[in-house]
Amino acid sequence: MANIKKAYNYSRGRQIWRLIPDNNNKLIIEERDTSSKEVFFNCLDINSGKKIFHDFQLDEKYWVGIETVFNDIIIFHKYASRDMPEHDEIIAFDINSNKILWQNNNYIFLFICNDKIYCYRNKFEGRDFFSLDYKNGSLLESLGDDSKPVNSLRENAFNPVNGGGYLFPESYNSKLTKDSYAGEYFEQLTTNNKIAGKIEYIETEGMIFFNCHHEGSGGNLKNIFKAIEISSKKIILEETLNFSTNVFIPDCFFIKDRLLFLLIEKVKLKVCAIKI
């Protein structure tokens, strides 16, 4: 019979804004303190939970974010303005040395492909496109203003979770899963309970992992996670991810190899080992 046991916990008491896995078994955690208007970045070894760096901040303390993580380099961005979502600048930070390698305020990040950073610079009408060396930021190519070649490269852009053993939940669709045990279980669940919003689930290695929101009194929602072994139809793990919330909270869990990552009350990360 399968079992799931805690491997490690992580919490620094701040709201976990994003969990960003990379392609080298590291997990970047973005935490935001909305009252003090500060953002903090932390990094763990994804398998052991060992701290690699913690509470890193850029000179801009809040209006910054992460574009991607590639080969142990975090690509940060700033925002063009505080009330607009458009990104600005490219800042490359080396995880291992805990230092900024380079930064450039002339370009805006698009994606990484074939070890090159593709980026652009706005002009009065349209954009000019460029490629940079991701290690030092040096200009490799000036690609002009034709977006078609760049967009064709985007189809093969680097994604840190591709081929890395990561599984992310999908929304339950009765038309697609009606003949499976997952479909049978979810139909019964929605019939016997007041379920609001979508059920998000992963089915793998003879198990179903899912979370859903139960309607409570006063319109509050309780976000519940369960892991079920299909062969025995037994609940292997049940966890309340949010005891009371008035909004749907998606993307609360994912799996890497046989590690289960659960985001609890938006401030705690619980990591469990899955034994099949």
Give me the mean pLDDT over the 139-145 stretch.
Answer: 95
Residue 126 pLDDT exceeds 80: yes
Give me the mean pLDDT over the 143-169 stretch.
Answer: 90
Four-way CATH pick for 12-154: 1.10.10.10, 2.40.128.630, 1.10.10.410, 3.20.20.300: 2.40.128.630
Give me the mean pLDDT over the 138-157 stretch.
Answer: 94
pLDDT in tens, 202-228: 999 999 999 999 997 777 899 999 999
Stated pTM of the model: 0.91
Could you give the CA distance from residue 166 to residue 20 in angstroms, rounded to a whole number? 12
6 close to 237: Cβ distance less than 8 angstroms: no
Length, in residues, of the chain: 276
Specify the pLDDT at position 12: 93
Amino acid at 126: G
Q: 30-44, 70-84, 205-219 — which one is most confidently predicted on average?
A: 30-44
Q: How much is the mean pLDDT over the chain?
A: 92
Cα–Cα separations (whole angstroms), residue 205 to 30, 123, 228, 255, 276:
30, 51, 11, 12, 8
Q: Is 148 helix (H, G, I), strand (E, B) or coil?
A: helix
Q: Which residue reads 């929602």 in tokens?
A: 221
Q: How many CB atoms lie within 10 A of CB 24?
A: 15
**Helix extents (H) in 167-235:** 174-177, 181-192
Q: Is the dihedral of CA 116, 73, 45, 199 positive or negative?
A: negative
Q: How many CB atoms lie within 10 A of CB 197?
A: 15
Specify the pLDDT at position 218: 74
Where do the domains of the chain lie? 12-154, 169-250
Region at 38 (left for phi over 0; alpha for psi -120 to 50; beta for the rest): beta
Q: Which residue reads 């003949």 in tokens?
A: 179
% of the chain exceeding 70 in pLDDT: 99
Q: Is 107 helix (H, G, I), strand (E, B) or coil?
A: coil
- Chain CA centroid to CA 221, Å: 23
The pair of three-digit structure tokens given for residue 114, joined into one six-digit string: 């074939």
In 155-181, which positions are buried (b, 16+ CB within 10 angstroms) versus exposed (e)?
Answer: eeebebeeeeebbebeebeeeebeeee
The pair of three-digit structure tokens given for residue 199, joined into one six-digit string: 């059920």
Q: Is 181 helix (H, G, I), strand (E, B) or coil?
A: helix
CB-based contacts of 69: which residues, under 8 Å, 6+ apart? 20, 21, 22, 23, 26, 28, 75, 95, 160
Give me the mean pLDDT over the 228-238 stretch.
Answer: 94
